[in-house]
Amino acid sequence: MSDFTSGFWNWYIVLITLLGIAGCAILLWSQSRYKVRLDDKGQPEKTTGHVWDEDLTELNTPMPRWWMFMFYLTILFAIGYLVLYPGLGSYAGRLGWQSAGAYQRELAKADADYGPLFAQYLKSDLKDVAADPQAHAIGERLFLTYCAQCHGSDARGNKGYPNLTDNDWLYGGDPSVIKETIMKGRNGQMPPMGAALGSDKDVENVAHYVMSLSGAPADPIKVAFGKPKFAACAACHGPDAHGNPMLGAPNLTDKVWLYGGSPETIMETIRKGRNNTMPAWGEFLGEGKAHVLAAYVWSLSNTPGSQHEVAAK
Q: Can you name the residues that pair with 57 across neighbouring β-strands?
A: 51
Query: Chain-centre distance of CA 227, in angstroms?
Result: 40
DSSP of 105-126: HHHHHHHHHHHHHHHHHHTS-H
pLDDT one-digit tens code per residue, 251-278: 999 999 999 999 999 999 999 999 999 9
d(CA 142, CA 161): 18
- The Cα-based distances of 263 to 5, 210, 212, 313 in angstroms read 49, 9, 11, 38
Predicted TM-score (pTM) of the model is 0.68
Residue 304 confidence class, pLDDT cut points 50, 70, 90: very low
List the CATH code of the domain at 189-278: 1.10.760.10
Give the span between the Cα atoms of 110 and 194, in whole angstroms.
51
Please indicate whether residue 240 or residue 52 has the higher confidence score (pLDDT). 240
In the chain, domain spans: 8-84, 106-185+279-299, 189-278
| The pLDDT of residue 312 is above 60 | no
Contact 204, 263 (CB under 8 A): yes
Instruction: Look up the CATH superfamily of 106-185+279-299.
Output: Cytochrome c-like domain (1.10.760.10)
pLDDT reading at 60 higher than 60? yes
Burial 250-287 (b: 16+ CB within 10 A, else e): bbbbbebbbeeeebeebbbbbbeeeebebebbeeebbb
pLDDT top residue among 147 and 105: 147
Tell me whether the CATH fold assigned to 106-185+279-299 matches the one assigned to 189-278. yes
Average pLDDT, the chain: 88
